[in-house]
């Protein structure tokens, strides 16, 4: 039987991990083999594994200070995302980032040069990703070369077991 754990990283990403036993989890954690699938952080900790926690009523809304002679007004409050919504967003982000990684070629530090060569017709166009400094990216944009910064998590570039 597998042990399913709710895990989280220091950046607040929440995900599940499946392990043969608690000892297996601790062994993998100690060897830094347990990584956040969103950001790649290895500082993972275990959280309560409950399908739902009833944390009670919401706190009262804060009042907006009144202007002279007017009563205080309640400010509308943006509802916090539920744990289920956060998991769904993280899952969608990871799925999308894996699709980007699968459908593009990683050209690494050669990104600016490869983008220019494609733009000026020196090589065939293809979907690429890589690293460029902010200055290089601005130069590409000034030349009319469309680029977009993407922070793809390391987990999206690797196959999961």
Write the CA distances from 161 to 20, 91, 96, 104, integer angstroms: 13, 17, 19, 22
Would you report the helix, strand and coil content of the chain in percent, each value rounded to 5? Answer: 30, 15, 50
The pLDDT of residue 114 is 95
Query: Of 15-19, 86-90, 134-138, 152-156, which gets the smallest average pLDDT?
Result: 152-156
pLDDT band at 157 (very low <50, low <70, confident <90, very high): low
Residues 140 and 98 in one domain: no
> Would 159 be classed as within a structural domain?
no
Largest CA distance in the chain: 71
Digit-coded pLDDT (tens) for 139-154: 998 999 988 887 776 6
CA pseudo-torsion sign 136, 139, 140, 141: positive
The pLDDT of residue 128 is 92
Residues 20 and 97 in one domain: yes
Q: Which residue has the higher pLDDT, 72 or 98?
A: 98
Interatomic CA distance for residues 58 and 46, integer angstroms: 26
- pTM beyond 0.75: the answer is no
With a pLDDT cut of 70, the percent of the chain lying above it is: 73
Structural domain count of the chain: 2
Tokens of 30: 């100690």
Residues 40 and 5 in one domain: yes
Range of the domain at 138: 105-147
Residues 90 and 131 in one domain: no
Digit-coded pLDDT (tens) for 103-139: 899 999 999 999 999 999 999 999 999 988 889 988 9
Whether residue 11 is predicted with pLDDT greater than 70 in this model: the reply is yes
Q: Taking the CA atoms of the chain, what radius of gyration do you get in angstroms?
A: 23
Residues 109 and 43 in one domain: no
Residues 94 and 136 in one domain: no
Q: Answer for the pair 133, 109: CB distance below 8 angstroms, yes or no.
A: no
> Would 152 be classed as within a structural domain?
no
Overall average pLDDT of the 40-60 stretch: 65
Residues 21 and 33 in one domain: yes
Helices (H), 31-103: 83-102
Q: Answer for the pair 15, 90: CB distance below 8 angstroms, yes or no.
A: yes
Q: Which residue has the higher pLDDT, 52 or 40?
A: 40
Residues 110 and 93 in one domain: no
Residues 89 and 142 in one domain: no
Residues 89 and 135 in one domain: no
Interatomic CA distance for residues 122 and 131, integer angstroms: 20
Residues 1 and 45 in one domain: yes
Say whether 130 sits in a helix, a strand or coil: strand
The pLDDT of residue 67 is 52
């Amino acid at each position: 039987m597998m042990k399913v754990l709710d895990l989280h990283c220091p950046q607040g990403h929440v995900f599940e991990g499946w392990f043969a036993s608690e000892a297996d989890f601790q062994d993998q954690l100690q060897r830094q083999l347990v990584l956040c699938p969103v950001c790649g952080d290895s500082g993972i900790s275990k959280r309560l594994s409950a399908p739902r926690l009833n944390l009670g009523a919401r706190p009262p809304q804060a009042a907006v200070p009144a202007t002279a002679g007017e009563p205080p007004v309640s400010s509308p409050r943006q509802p916090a995302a539920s744990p289920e919504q956060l998991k769904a967003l993280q899952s969608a982000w990871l799925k999308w980032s894996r699709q980007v990684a699968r459908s593009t070629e990683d050209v690494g530090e050669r990104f600016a040069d490869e983008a220019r060569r494609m733009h000026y017709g020196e090589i065939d166009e293809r979907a690429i990703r890589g690293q460029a400094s902010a200055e290089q990216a601005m130069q590409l944009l000034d030349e009319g070369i469309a680029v977009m910064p993407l922070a793809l998590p390391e987990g999206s570039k690797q196959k999961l077991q």
